[in-house]
Every structure is written in structure tokens, then in C-alpha cells.
Amino acid sequence: MQIQDLPYPDPGEPDVRSGPRFLVWLGRNQLGGQVKALCWGLLHFVSVSGLPFCVGFAVQAVVDRSGARLALAGGLIAVCALGIALGDTMLHRTAVTNWITAAARVQQLLARRTALLGSALTRRVAAGEIVSVSTGDVEKIGWFVEAVSRFTAAAVTIVLVCVALVVYQPALGIVVAVGVPVLALAVLPLLPRATRRADFQRDKAGRATELASDTVAGLRVLRGIGGEELFLDRYRSASQEVRHAAVRSARMWSLIAAIQVLLPGLLLIAVVWHGVNLAREGRITVGELVTVYSAVMLLTYPLHHFEEIAMAYSFSRPSAKRAARVLSLERATDGEGSREAVVPAGDLYDPATGLLAPAGRLTAVVCGDPDAAGVLAERLGGHTAASSDLPSALVGGVPLDELPLDSARAAVLVQDKDPVLLSGTLRELLDVPGSGDVDAAAALAAAQCRDVLDALAQGSLDTGDPMDARITERGRSLSGGQRQRLALARSLITDPEVLVLDEPTSAVDSHTEARIAEGIRSLRQGRTTVVFTSSPLLLDHADRVALVHEGEVAAVGLHRDLLRGEPRYRAVVTRETDDGAAVEEPARPSPPGGLDGPTELTELTALTDLHEIDELDELEEIEETA
């Protein structure tokens, strides 16, 4: 696999049973790159380790005054130099390729899992942790995968050199063969503590990242309540904890690095002392002493890779564990399903609450608990929680959890109360799968996005077409109402069999809301639409209104009928807190000029509707008396 072949056509199904298993799976899926790196690493390390033998041979040739052997030694040194240069260049190239391809595979897996889980992901994993896994953790995982081949080449080279020294000069070679494994294994007792400190540092860093991510996401709200300094102090405290953890971890790794320098030095002193004694006794030649000395000195280079692989594993293991945890998340409805892949049509029914949305009608649902409304909206779309034992919603009598995931999503589209806009142009944002019966212009008009288009056109200097204007990440450059309307237009373009909207107009003013209600009713004519709302303007346009109270449908009817005859419904819609107050005729509110927001406007409309109903009742009584 080459870098230009990325992304993978299929990144595969990872082994997410544990962090180490995930690392093994990654390495196994790029064996070709690992073998290449191993071969180039062997060429590099063997060439480096061959220099001492060539130098010793050259020294002995000088002592023996042999020009032919000196020339041969020079040629061997040139060959080793060429091997070192070629091996080092290609080893670096293949190692970086392995790093990038492993990281790219992990990022593809994370992106695929994120797209599959959708909004359920951030409810089960903090957004900051997802960012941390897809950035820093991916790099650490790639580091370990590419370091394995270099460590293997270094380990094989050390074994070959030790065997060669034993054969070349047994008296000194045995000392080296015994001392080198001690050097390699001396740091093992320190690795568990270093690993724990690295894990602790990573946990602290992950929490700090989560805090920073959540703070940035809610910065506009924090500024509104004057909470910037409070959260800044919290982040300062979290960052100081990360710094202290990093210092403690660095101390342990510096101790390991010091041991890696000290012990080879001691071995080198022992070899020189013993070798000098052997040379004075005439048991070895000067060239052999120089060869063994040089070999031991150069062995410290591949020995450093033992320290590197230990560090790479210590840092990548918790990263792989976190990545495996995210990749192991599943939806309760994931799978092929037990029915054939067809998109059902018909009435939408929820057995848990008794809610029925007739096919081709606009049904409004009033729920006093916003959280319960969000859960019900998700269940209507087949997004049943994994821990829930409630039955699935049915479309045309077909349970959504028995359908393949793609078919269930095509049958019912749910727009939650906090939809996300991806960065890109408006044209790209609205380029979503759909029936083709609803174009972008009609959807934007129904969602009352004319002012949004004007704002985008004025803010884009390089294009006059608002469809080519760029939208920033999550639409942060737009107001809440503008984001909400663009998300509504995107949902209308898809034109699904069933569209479920959770508070689609909570951030817009009452005049715009009234026009949106008319647009939704007109554009979704003949399609099944369910709107969770307590806005009288939307409720008045619904063909059918259902009140869900304490997990069950308590009343069904038209908005005006329910407002007049159902106290619980009236309490939710008019924001009354006392049932007795709902029976009394409300006083006319002050003119709209004294209001400060869309909430008050909605309450005014509801109270006005109630007053008009009471006036109609009085007229009917007068007519009957006459």
C-alpha cells in the first residue's frame, strides 16, 4: 500500500476487543509495509554494525603492513557506507509510509463509526474525547505500528552481531553476548511504572481537551452569562494537572534513558579492560580489540530502539484502548435486519405511547417534558436506545428495528432540536439524497430562508450566488434561527416517507414561524409529517394534535378543541402552572412592542387564540338564545 492509494476502499472490520488486539490487527493489515521496513532496516543496521569489522581489519592490515588487505578494507568500508545511506533513506521512507497508512486507516474507521452512530455518539462519548482520539491518539497508534519493524530489525541485528563476535573472538564475544541482553532487559522493571504515569498523563490531557472543546462550543452562552473567567480558571487548573503529570512521566522516561546510556558505558569499560589484558597477554591482536570495541560502541545505536518501542507501546496502548472503545460502539438497530430491504409506507405508530401519525397527514405532538419529547422523536425514527426494552415504532405495520438500517433511515428521517450544519458551501450542504420531487429553491422558500440567503450573499465577497457561499463549521457564523431554518430546508429536500421534526422553530420569531408552518404544510402535502412542538402557530396548522402525558397519549384532536377542552394541554401550550388558572378567561396581553423574544410572542398568540375561542362561545350562546 502506497500513500497515493489512500483512502482505503474498505478499511476493514477492526478487532476492538482490547487495545493490544487492535494494535495487532493494524500491524497485520499492512504486513507488506512492515516487511519492507524490516528489510531496509536490516540493511541499515547490518551495514552500521559491519563497520567495526572493516575498521579492525584495516587496523590489522596497517599493523601487518599489508597494502592489499588495506585496500580490501577500504572497499568494504565503502560498501558499508553505501548500505548505511541507502538503508537509512529507504527505512525512513517506508517507516513514515507505515505510520501514515496506519493513522489513515484508524481515521477512516473513526469517520465511518461516527457517520453510522450519528448524534448517538456524543451522548455516549464526550465530544472532546472524540477529538482527542481522532488527532493525538491516531498519531501515537501510527507511531507504534511503524516502530515495530524498526525494532525488529534492530533486535535481529543485535543477535547477529553477538553471534559474529562470539565466532570472531570468543574471549571478548562471550562478554558482549552476556552483557547486551542485560542492557536490553534492564529497563523492564521500570516500564510498568512509566506506563502508569503515561496513562495518567493521557487521562488528564483528555479531560483538559474535553473541557476546552465544551467551553469553545458554549462560548457564546458563557459570554452571555459572564462565565468566561470561571471556565478559564477551570481550564488553567486542568492544564496545570496535565503539566504536573507530564513532568512526572518525563522523570521516569529520563531515568530509563539514563540507564540506557549508563549500562552500555559500563559494558564498554568492561570490554576494554578485559580486552587490554588479553592483548597484553598476546591472546588477541590489536585489530580484534579495535573490532570488538567498535562493535560494542555501535551496538548502542540499535539498543536505543528498545527504549523507543517501550515508549511507543506505553503511549499507544491507552490510545488504542480509547480508539477501540469508540469503534466498538453499536446502535441497538445495527445489523442487516430480519426483513427484506424495502422502504415501508403507511401510518407511523408507537406502541409504547399509543401515538398514531396517519399517513399523508401533518401530526403535531405536544409533550410537557422536552427530554421525553426528544426520546420519543428518536424512537419514532428507529433510534432505540441499546438499554431500552420498549418496542420499536412501526411504519405501515412494519417494526423499524426489523428492517436493515439503510431502509429504516430511508423510511423515517428525524431532525433533532439541535441539528448540525457541516462546513462547506450552501450548495454542498443541501446536496443530500432525496426523492427529487423537492428542489433546493422550494425547500429554502418553505423554510423561510430568504434573509439567510441575503446574508450569505453579502458576506461572501468572491461569489454573488448565495448557493456558493461558504458556511463555517457548525454554522457558527449564523444565528440560531438561521441555522435552524437551513437544517429544516435540508430535511425537506430529502422528502422522506415520514419526516419527524423536533422543535423545528424554537429559535425563530412568531411571524417567521407562521410562514414556516404554512410552508411545511404545503410542501409536505400527501406526506407523513410529525412535529414535536408547543407553538400554537404550528399546532393550528396540524391535521391532528396529540398530547403525550406521562409517557402515554392522553388526548387527540384539533388545536382549538384541545385548547378549549383539555386543561393539561392548555397548561403546556399557554405555559400556565395552575389548572384552575387555565379555566379563567385570560386578560388581553400588552402589545407586541413590549415583548423581548419569540417565547413571549408565542405565549401572546396562544392567549389570543384562547380569548377568541371564548368570544366565539359567547356568540354561539347568543344565537341559540335568539
Q: What is the pLDDT of residue 603?
A: 41
Number of other CB atoms surrounding residue 502 within 10 Å: 25
- The lowest-confidence range among 20-29, 180-189, 249-258 is 180-189
Sign of CA dihedral 600, 602, 607, 608: positive
For range 595-604, the mean pLDDT: 39
Would you say 215 and 231 are in contact if contact means Cβ atoms under 8 Å apart?
A: yes
> Does 119 score more than 70 pLDDT?
no
User: By C-alpha distance, which of 107, 149, 477, 486 is closest to 327?
Assistant: 107
User: Cell triple for residue 309?
Assistant: 518501542
**Percentage above 90 pLDDT, the chain:** 25
Three cell numbers written together for 177: 553476548
Residue type, 599: T
pLDDT of residue 216: 66
Do residues 239 and 208 lie in contact, with contact meaning Cβ atoms separated by under 8 Å? yes
Cell of 322: 480509547
The pLDDT confidence band at residue 177, using thresholds 50, 70 and 90, is confident
Instruction: Let me know the angle formed at the C-alpha of 407 by 405 and 410, rounded to the nearest 5 degrees.
Output: 110
Cα–Cα distance, 574 to 609 (Å, whole number)? 10
The predicted-structure confidence for 412-455, as pLDDT tens digits, reads as follows: 999 888 888 888 888 898 988 887 889 999 999 999 999 888 88
Please state, in angstroms and as integers, the Cα–Cα distance from residue 513 to each residue in 220, 570, 593, 605, following that order.
Answer: 24, 20, 18, 12
Give the per-residue pLDDT at 540.
Answer: 92
Note the helical H segments in 471-576.
Answer: 480-494, 510-523, 536-539, 559-565, 567-573
pLDDT (0 to 100) of residue 126: 64
pLDDT digit string, tens, across residues 510-557: 899 999 999 999 999 999 999 999 999 999 999 999 999 988 999 999
Exposed/middle/buried for residue 490 (C-beta within 10 Å: 0-12, 13-18, 19+): buried
- Among 57-61, 475-479, 507-511, 542-546, the range scoring the smallest mean pLDDT is 475-479
**What DSSP assignment string belongs to 445-501?**
HHTT-HHHHHHHHHH-SS-S-GGG-EE-GGGTTS-HHHHHHHHHHHHHHH--SEEEE
* pTM greater than 0.95: no
Whether residue 7 is preceded by a cis peptide bond, meaning omega within 30 degrees of 0, is yes
Range 598-613 average pLDDT: 40
Burial class of residue 185, CB neighbours in 10 A (0-12, 13-18, 19+):
exposed
